[in-house]
A = this chain, B = another copy of it.
Amino acid sequence: MDTNDPPADGRPPTKRPTARGRPFSQRTEQAIIEATTGLLAERPLSEISLDDIATQARVSKASIYRRWPTKGTLAFDAFMVDFLDRQPLPNTGRLEDDLLATLRNWVSAVDRTATGRALKGLIAEVQRDPALADAWRERFIGPVRARHLLLTERAKSRGELPPGADADLLLDILFGPAYHRLLHAHLPLDESFVRGVVRAIGAAIDAGVF
């Protein structure tokens, strides 16, 4: 494989190692990301072709493939820009309130929104593209999880959680049910759902489960 191939593991397009030749134009990159974001707001990823993106961005397909190995990795990067900044980390001084704010915020970001549709499409794509799956774990699930672990660390330092608590389990119980309802749409992502999940976790904490 050529050294100038795209990252292939889904890393975002960065500067090439050698500084020789014409560098990547950041205008091109930005146009691609913006076009992708715009199209993702209109329709699901599976109904967007790379030709659509190239046309919309007034860019050649080759310029896209130079940066991203698959449609999924591109959509992933476009999604990240949108999503991550909208997930502020609360700090109420009480874990249960932090979890409530976090989950409520997540729900409002994805429930029947363009972002939510993009997220569902991406999770679908992750199941069919192993390279994207790696990027997804390492560059989405991982960083998001790391941020959320700050909440449990603070709780530990406040004594709300024991020092050795299984924070990963706690966070999966927090988000797992939410992703479940998002993906299967069998029941609404409403306020009573959010409150119920968080109260269950609170009870589990009090009972020393984690």
Instruction: Select which of B47, B125, B204 is within 8 A of A124 by beta carbon.
Output: B125
A16 within 8 A of B: no
A81 within 8 A of B: no
A83 within 8 A of B: no
A145 within 8 A of B: yes
A150 within 8 A of B: no
Interface of A, helix, strand, loop or mixed by DSSP: helix
Binds B, one of A2-10, A94-102, A155-163, A168-176: A168-176
Number of identical protomers:
4
Q: Mark A110-134, 1 if CB is under 8 A from B, else 0.
A: 0000000000110111111000010
A178: nearest residue on chain B (CB-CB)? B176
Count the A residues whose beta carbon is within 8 Å of the partner chain — how many?
49
Residue numbers in B under 8 Å from A173 (CB-CB): 173, 176-177, 197, 200
Residue numbers in B under 8 Å from A137 (CB-CB): 184-186
Q: Kindly provide the distance from the CB of A134 to the nearest chain B CB, expressed in whole angstroms.
A: 10
- Find out whether the CB atom of A145 lies under 8 angstroms from the CB atom of B186: yes
Taking Cβ atoms with an 8 Å cutoff, the residues of A that contact B are 44-47, 120-121, 123-128, 133, 136-137, 141-142, 145, 166, 168-169, 172-173, 175-181, 183-187, 192-193, 196-197, 199-204, 206-207, 209-210
Which 3 A-B pairs have CB atoms at the shortest separation, nearest pair first? A176-B177, A203-B207, A176-B176
